[in-house]
A = this chain, B = another copy of it.
Amino acid sequence: MSEGIDGRRGDGRPAAGGYDATDEHRFLAGYDPNAFAPAAVTVDVVALTIRDGLPHVLLGRRARHPQRGRWALPGGFVRARDSAAGPADPDLPDAALRVLTEKTPLPAEIHLEQLGTYGAIDRDPRMRVISVAYMVLAPDLPDPRTGRDTAEAAWVPWTALGYGEGADTGHELAFDHTRVLGDAVERARSKLEYTALATAFLPPAFTITELRGVYEAVWGRTLHAANFHRKILATPGFVEDTGELADRGGSGGGRRARLYRAGGAALLHPPLLRGTQ
């Protein structure tokens, strides 16, 4: 590394072996893409929402082989080129949104983030399948519709999948989706601590109590209401006041809550730690 990162020597001319676009063009003309296409790429989506104070995940029962009849995350092959099924996916997030909209209509603003990629050689019996997993957080969505590859689709509370209090033993999902879902749960729990992600589960206007409900649902524990209130308002940029009040102060009476919207901050300073309280 005596000549520096840019591949130029002291005289300012490209070093031997420097980048040459014309030569590259000739190379590409004779390249055979099929020589290096030994794997299929899919996207799988962990869509999370909160219903009745409990996190739910979107699952479908597989209508086709392999693993026909097992519950699975929504997913599908990434379209590398235009196919009979439709246009190519420009990028991986586009593919994730495409397979998700086959199951449920999506609101204008949702949170989509990449979880990780799973590629063990035997995770799919057909061939080597590399699966890029995405996590979607959304406010309460309508019941899903069934699709071409799905016999049945539903929002399933994650207590039925081995998470949260009163958890079941954990049902087995297709492929390695149990592990993918577990990674999503841990990611969601952890990101609530140091990001403003909780608002992604709520409609545009919400109360502090509803926000606390998100934390309690995802973390599976109760929080001190007064301290939570103080902490949220003390964290700059987390929420901002809309100046309006919620319609009713609860079923059995009570003061009407103030309505807030999500603030501009993505990261929380200081974070909301689940450790102690």
Measuring CB to CB, which residues of chain A are less than 8 angstroms from any residue of chain B?
1, 4-7, 14-15, 17-20, 23-24, 27-28, 31, 33, 36-41, 59, 61, 63, 65-71, 77-81, 88-92, 114, 116-121, 125-128, 130, 132, 151-152, 154-156, 160-161, 171, 194, 269-271, 273, 275
Contacts and interface: CB of A to CB of B under 8 A. Distances in A.
Contact of A38 (B19, B23, B81, B152): B81
A92 B131 CA distance: 11
A19 B69 contact: yes
A270 to B, nearest CB: 7
Nearest to A172: B6
A91 B70 contact: no
A275 to B, nearest CB: 5
Nearest to A37: B37
Nearest to A63: B17
Given A88-B121, A91-B119, A7 B71 contact: yes
B19 A67 contact: yes
B275 A70 contact: no
Contacts of A118: 92
A29 B66 CA distance: 11
A127 B88 CA distance: 13
Contact of A66 (B17, B28, B71): B28
Given A132-B130, A270-B273, A69 B14 contact: yes
- Which 10 residue pairs are nearest across A and B when measured between Cβ atoms? A38-B80, A33-B127, A19-B69, A27-B65, A1-B154, A80-B128, A18-B69, A92-B119, A36-B40, A117-B117
